[in-house]
A = this chain, B = another copy of it.
Amino acid sequence: MRIAILGGTGSFGRALAGRLAAGGDDEIVIGSRDAGRAAETAAKLAEEVPDGTFSGFANGEAAERSEVVFLCVPFRNQSETLTNLKEHLREGQLLVDATVPLAAAVSGRATRMIGVWQGSAAQQAAEMVPAGVRVVSALHTVSAAVLRDPAQTPDEDVLVCGDKKADKLRAVEIIERVPGLRCVDCGRLEQSRTTESLTALLIGVNSRYKTHAGIRITGLPEQLWQPPS
């Protein structure tokens, strides 16, 4: 399988790409606005993760080549990126949106959110993708700093939202290859309003406590995802 990481030259996308490559035998396709930078990042990642397979393309081509597409661009670029993706995405693909509408996107504080008309960045994504492309949201609360440091194992949950269980399960099977990340079903895509907001909250917590905090949901059973019967 090929997995695209759009915004894969950014700190979060790049770190996620490295972890996903280390955890499976899929090809990780780095996407960027600039195909050259994408290829460069793919080459560097291949040195860092010798058992991983990487390639690099412009976002559109990266998406086209892949079955699952992680959208890891800054919110400032989310809408433009999705507009440009319209001709590249196709029915049956899964888009995993990780963008967060921090007020920093409009020169406000990173501890505050801006209101997205659709309710959340993920709902905006769902509105903008071509018919038949599935959208879930995840990974908002996972810190790039923890993911990119090979000495650290994350110890936190990934809050996953989406309107179809099967879509969420597809994303979960990929994300849980990263040791230390447990995915929790947080309901429909509209719940992304809350899971996205947690990023702003954690940015405040991080600056207050000089750390890279994450979220855990307590009191859950052992088995969180039932494979389809």
Contacts and interface: CB of A to CB of B under 8 A. Distances in A.
Interface in A190-229: 190-191, 193-195, 197-198, 200-202, 204-205, 208-221, 224
A184 interface: yes
Assembly stoichiometry (copies):
2
A201 B188 CA distance: 10
24 contacts: A112-B190, A113-B193, A155-B218, A155-B219, A159-B201, A184-B205, A185-B205, A185-B208, A186-B201, A186-B204, A187-B201, A187-B208, A194-B194, A194-B201, A195-B201, A205-B217, A210-B221, A213-B219, A213-B220, A214-B217, A215-B216, A215-B218, A216-B217, A216-B218
Top 4 closest A-B pairs, CB basis? A216-B216, A187-B204, A194-B197, A214-B218
- Majority DSSP secondary structure for residues of A touching B: mixed
Contacts of A213: 217-220
A67 interface: no
A128 to B, nearest CB: 23
Contacts of A217: 202, 205, 213-216
A156 interface: yes
